[in-house]
Amino acid sequence: MKAVVFDQYKTTPSLKEVDKPRPGPGEVLLKVAGAGACHSDIAVFREFDESFGPAQLKPSFILGHESSGWAEELGDGVEGITLGDAFLVYGPMGCGHCRACSRGQDTYCENAATMPHLATGLGRDGGMAEYVSVPVRNLVPLGDADPVAAAPLSDAGLTPYHAIKTSLPALAGGGKSALVIGLGGLGQIAVQILTALTGATVIATDTKQDAMERAAANGAVTVPGGPGQADAIRELTGGKGVDAVFDFVGAGPTIALAMGVVALRGRVTVVGIANGTFEWNFYAVPYEVELTSTYWGTVEELHEVVDLYRAGQITPQVSVYALDDALEAYRALEAGELSGRAVVAP
């Protein structure tokens, strides 16, 4: 079968012919419907090497950590899955028996350091191929919902959902506000999730005008970058500052913006992995501000994300590419030319 393979550090992946996978015990082979191109993959094949980045992300493996597909073949011991049904893949894969894994939070597996891979598509063969094999525990049923447009929900939906859900205490009550920085694959869905889960005023910013227009169409008030940006954001909150900020870039300047507009007792969640720094001191930020990071989400939360999708409350905005054009999808993502999410549909 054809697959997009990360085969060398700091090198563009290649599209090549590989063996079709066979489902191992407890696994289900999926015929892939869609696989999203996530900005984290750019870090995998452009930035990481032996000395920087998770040790499990060494070449080679098939990319695609947000994917969906139809059940094609069942491995030994798998029951209760109907061939042909559509599923979303929960990518993270922990040990399965520690406290974190037992609450469905494989992302924070206590044995992560000794696991051979982080996730399907991150250390273990992923969905940017004609077929992918995953443990049955990692499948979330899609019912009759479109599996191609659903693919980004596994990461571009789940990651903001987890970040927002853990920030809900800061957004409870009337007159609250949220700020989304970076309106790409994750940020666009974040705007929709905030609208679905909270009554907060959603403020959004990006360096690209078309990204802000998309966010505005989903109900956000947009503020462009440049001088006066922090003042303009603060003004939209009646001067009190933003209750919950979500930074989907994570660079020094975006973290500085987040910390510059956050309200007293507010919360800043850095999701983007641009690895920016922020120098804290007692007087630099309002009292009781929390600055945190989050990584992906739980399998239970992915079921909830699918519920929102099936209820029409969130809709990933996707550009569909053929598998033969997958490298073009990554090129456009890296060049910042995409709007919404690129999904490769074999």
Cβ 45 to ligand NAD shortest distance, Å? 12
What count of other Cβ atoms lies within 10 Å of the Cβ of residue 217?
11
Cβ 340 to ligand NAD shortest distance, Å? 8
Q: How far apart are CA 127 and CA 150, in angstroms?
A: 13
Residue 101: which of Zn ion, ligand NAD, none does it interact with, CB under 5 to 8 A by kind? Zn ion
Q: What is the DSSP string of 37-67?
A: --HHHHIIIII-BTTBS-TT--S-EE--SSE
- Of 101 and 244, nearer to Zn ion (C-beta) is 101
DSSP class of residue 75 equals P
Residue 94: which of Zn ion, ligand NAD, none does it interact with, CB under 5 to 8 A by kind? Zn ion
- Of 102 and 319, nearer to ligand NAD (C-beta) is 319
**Bridge partner list, 221:** 203
- x/- track of binding to ligand NAD for residues 296-335 (CB under 6 A): x------------------------------------x--
- Of 94 and 160, nearer to Zn ion (C-beta) is 94
Strands 242-247, 262-270: pairing is parallel
SS3 180: strand
Q: What are phi and psi of 144, to 5 degrees?
A: -95, 15
Q: Which candidate, 63, 40, 39, 58, places its Cα nearest to that of 129?
A: 63
Cβ 110 to ligand NAD shortest distance, Å? 18
- Of 27 and 41, nearer to Zn ion (C-beta) is 27
- Of 113 and 335, nearer to ligand NAD (C-beta) is 335
**Binding test (CB under 6 A) with ligand NAD, winner from 91, 157, 250, 346:** 250
- Is residue 176 within 8 A of residue 195, CB to CB? The reply is no
109 binds Zn ion (CB under 5 A): yes
Q: Which amino acid appears at position 341 of this protein?
A: R
**Binding test (CB under 6 A) with ligand NAD, winner from 13, 29, 32, 39:** 39
| 137-to-31, 140, 193 alpha-carbon distances in Å | 17, 8, 25
The residue of the chain with the least Cβ separation from ligand NAD equals 184
Q: How far apart are CA 201 and CA 179, in angstroms?
A: 8
Cβ 115 to Zn ion shortest distance, Å? 8
Restricting to residues 174-233, name those near ligand NAD by CB under 6 A: 181-187, 205-208, 211, 225
Start-end of H helices in the chain: 39-42, 99-102, 147-150, 158-166, 168-171, 185-197, 209-217, 229-236, 252-261, 299-310, 326-334
- Of 62 and 211, nearer to ligand NAD (C-beta) is 211
278 binds ligand NAD (CB under 6 A): no
93 binds Zn ion (CB under 5 A): no
**Binding test (CB under 5 A) with Zn ion, winner from 92, 94, 184, 185:** 94
Please enumerate in sequence order all residues whose Cβ is within 8 A of that of 260, keeping only pairs 6 or more positions apart, or say none: 230
Cβ 105 to Zn ion shortest distance, Å? 8
273 binds ligand NAD (CB under 6 A): yes
Residue 208: which of ligand NAD, Zn ion, none does it interact with, CB under 5 to 8 A by kind? ligand NAD
Stretch of residues binding Zn ion (CB under 5 A), selected from 77-85, 87-95, 159-167, 320-328: 87-95
Strands 123-124, 119-120: pairing is parallel
DSSP class of residue 293 equals E
Residue 52: half-sphere exposure toward Cβ, Cα within 13 Å: 10
Contact footprint for Zn ion (CB under 5 A): 94-95, 98, 101, 109, 111
Contact footprint for ligand NAD (CB under 6 A): 38-40, 43, 155, 159, 181-187, 205-208, 211, 225, 248-251, 253-254, 271-274, 294-296, 333, 336
